[in-house]
Amino acid sequence: MRAVYEAGPTGYGLARRSRRGLEISVCAPGEIAGGGGAKPRIKTDARDALKLARLHMAGELTLVVVPSVEQEQVRDLVRAREDVRADLMRARHRLGKFLLRRVASRHG
């Protein structure tokens, strides 16, 4: 039996725990083909599951390598660091603009 899940903590966890007789593949969510036609206006888990199953059977999904738990933890740490750096830059810019407005209001 074969199954497919989108990449992420849930998909990776399922793939790591797959047992004999069940092959769980993980696909890149951003690479899932449109499936033809206009985008459906209603998005449901059932529709998504059918779409993934059809694309998987047709061999049209981009499958990804499941990282080890340690690799996933390092990726998570790197992403968290990038988020904090971006937050810091936004705060610095916000403070700088605030101070510029204060200085301009005193001299204008």
Q: Let me know how long the chain is.
A: 108
The pTM for the full model equals: 0.62
List Cα–Cα distances, 48 to 33, 68, 98, 106, in angstroms. Answer: 12, 26, 46, 58
Instruction: Give 32's pLDDT tier (boundaries 50, 70, 90).
Output: confident
Strands (E), 9-107: 23-27
Q: Tokens 């899932």 correspond to what residue?
A: 32
Range of lowest pLDDT (2-6, 42-46, 87-91, 103-107):
42-46
Amino acid at 76: D
